[in-house]
A and B are shown apart, each in its own frame.
Chain A
C-alpha cells in the first residue's frame, strides 16, 4: 500500500489537493466562465456595499466649495475628538487584555486536559458565543442596575449606598468583556488543540517542572491563538456600539457611540462621515498589519 502511494495518489501533473482543473471538460468558454460566476457577487457587493461606503467617504471630503480636508483638520485638532479616539483605543486595549487573562485559563484547561470538564467549558463558551449579545447586555443591566442583583446583594451585606455601576465606563467594559470573551476563548482553543502533546512530555522528560514546561513550551506555542483572539476582540471593540450605548454613561463616549448619536440627531453629516472614515481607517490599518505579519486567511479560519 505504502509503496503504491507515491505514484498511485498523484496524477502526472504537479498536484496538491486542489481539484483537477478544468473540472468540467475543457470547453470554448473556459476563459470566460470564472467571471460569469463571479459577476453576481461582484456586482452585488460593489453596488450595495462599496458604493454606500464610498458615498460616506465622499461626504467627508466634500464641502460647500468642493473637495476639502477641512473636516479631518477639525477632527485632528479638536482635543474633544482626540480624547474620544484615545479613549476608544484605551477601552479596546483594556477589554482585550481582560479577555486574554480570563480566556486563557478556560482554553488551557479545555485544550490541555479535555475530559468532561473541558467539554463543558467549551460548550458554555460556545453557547455564550451564539446567544444574542443584546440578551447578554440586558443581563448585565439586571446585574449592575441600581435595583439589580449586585446592589441587592451588597445591601444585604450591609452596604447601604452601594455605588452606581450601571451607566458607567466600568459597566460598559464588563459587558464588552463578557460578550467578546468567547471570541478569545475559541481562538485560543483552536490553536491550543493542535499543540502536540508529545512536545510537553518531551519537555517534562528533559527535567522541566510543569510551570517551566508551560512557560517555555506551551505558552509560546499558543501565541498565535493569543494574537488571533486579540486581533478579533480589539477590532470588534473599536467599532462596538450597542453594549457601551446601553451600559455606559454619557461621559464615557467612544467613537462608535458618537457616530450613532450623530445619526440619531441628524447633526452634521460631514462630521459623522469624518468620524466614520477615521474609525474605518484605523480598523483597516489593523487588518493590514495583521495581514502583513500573519495573513488574513488565518484570522478568517477562526
Chain B
C-alpha cells in the first residue's frame, strides 16, 4: 500500500497520535511519501484522522510516535513557525485588524524583507488571486470567497516549502467552491507548489489531486492517483466511500479463469486470480459500467426487476433487484432509461474488464 518513491520530499514514517493516555487513537501508524510539487489530498470522513495528520505536519500537534522528515531532516521537534509551511484554514483565519495588503504582507514583514520588495511581492500575489483593487479593505468587508483568496495569497506569498490546506472550501457554497477548486489547482501547477489538502468531499479530491490518501479510523486505507482509487479501490471502505459502487460478497470458483460466484450469479474478471479456490473475495462493479443487454449472458450479467428510477438530468439512477432480492444500481443515459418503468424486467451485463475483485 505504501509505495516508497524515489525522491520523497516530505515523508511521514509511522506517525501516530493518541489522546486520553493512549486510549483514543486519532492517527494510527500513518506513512506517506510526498513528492516535490505534488498535490496530495487527505480524504476521509469526520474523525478519520486526516486533520490531525495535517496538524502534525504543520507543527500544531505533536505526534505520539513516528517521524516527519522534510528533505532528509526530522522536523518533529521544530515549532510550527520555523517550518516555513504555508497554511490555509477553513474559517479563513485572516487578521481582522489588518488590511488585505497587511495580511498578505505579514509573513514577509516577519522575514524582514525591504518595504519595496514587500510591496512588489504582495502586489504580485494579490494580482494572482484577482484582488488587486481590494488591497486597502479590511477582511470583514470581503465575501467568503474573497477572504479565502486573501488567505491563499498569504499562505503562498513567502514561497513556503509546503502548503497545507484544512478544508479550505468547506464554508463556501457549491458554485464558488468549484471555481476556487479550479483556481487553487491552477495556482498549484503554475507555482509548482507541494500541497497537502484535507477534505471530506470526494469529488473535490478527485478533481484536484495528483494522489489521494483515503483515511479511515485513523489509518490510511489507500494512497493512489484518483483514477486508480476509483477503478481499483484497495478496500471495501475505499470502494464505498469514493463514488458509488455495487459490492458483492463472493467466493472464488475458478482462480485460473478469474471466476467468482456471487449472489447475482457467476462473475468473471479479466485477469486470473492469485487466490485459492473458495477463498472469500468482494466483487465490485461501478453502476455506470453495468449496461442494458438484449439477454443476460451466462456470466457477467443478470436480469433485474426495476425498483426505482431517479432522474438527475444528465443521468438516470436506476435500482433493480435480482430474483432473490439483491439490489443492483445502474447509471443510464436519459435515452437508455426512456423505456423503463418500475416493475419492468431489465437484462444487464458488464465487461470482465470492469469487474474489480478485492481480497478482504
Which residues does A use to contact B, with CB under 8 Å?
Answer: 1, 4, 6-14, 20, 22, 25-27
Contacts and interface: CB of A to CB of B under 8 A. Distances in A.
Contact of B46 (A1, A6, A26): A6
B48 A12 contact: yes
A4 B26 CA distance: 21
A7 B49 contact: no
Given A7-B170, A12-B26, 16 more contacts: A4-B167, A6-B46, A7-B167, A7-B200, A8-B171, A9-B90, A10-B46, A11-B51, A11-B55, A12-B27, A12-B46, A13-B51, A13-B52, A25-B60, A25-B79, A26-B79
Given A12-B26, A26-B61, A1 B48 contact: no
B274 interface: no
Interface string B186-225: 0000000000000011000000000000000000000000
Interface string B22-64: 0010110000000000000000011111111001000111100
Contact of A4 (B19, B24, B55, B170): B170
B348 interface: no
5 A-B pairs closest in CB distance = A8-B170, A7-B46, A25-B79, A25-B80, A7-B200
A70 to B, nearest CB: 52
Given A13-B19, A13-B26, A27-B79, A8 B90 contact: yes
A6 B48 CA distance: 13
Given A13-B19, A25-B79, A25-B81, A8 B47 contact: no
Contact of B59 (A8, A10, A13, A25): A25
25 contacts: A1-B173, A4-B167, A4-B171, A4-B200, A4-B201, A6-B46, A7-B45, A7-B200, A8-B200, A10-B46, A11-B52, A11-B55, A12-B27, A12-B49, A12-B51, A12-B52, A13-B19, A13-B26, A13-B52, A14-B19, A20-B55, A22-B60, A25-B60, A26-B62, A26-B79
A25 B166 CA distance: 17
A12 B170 contact: no
A11 to B, nearest CB: 4
Contacts of B170: 4, 7-9
A165 to B, nearest CB: 57
Contacts of B81: 25
Contacts of A8: 90, 167, 170-171, 200
Chain B CB count within 10 A is highest, among A6, A12, A26, A27, for A12
A68 to B, nearest CB: 50
Interface in B222-242: none
A22 B80 CA distance: 12
B60 A20 contact: yes
Contacts of B48: 12
Contacts of A25: 59-60, 79-81
B53 to A, nearest CB: 8
A22 B62 CA distance: 9
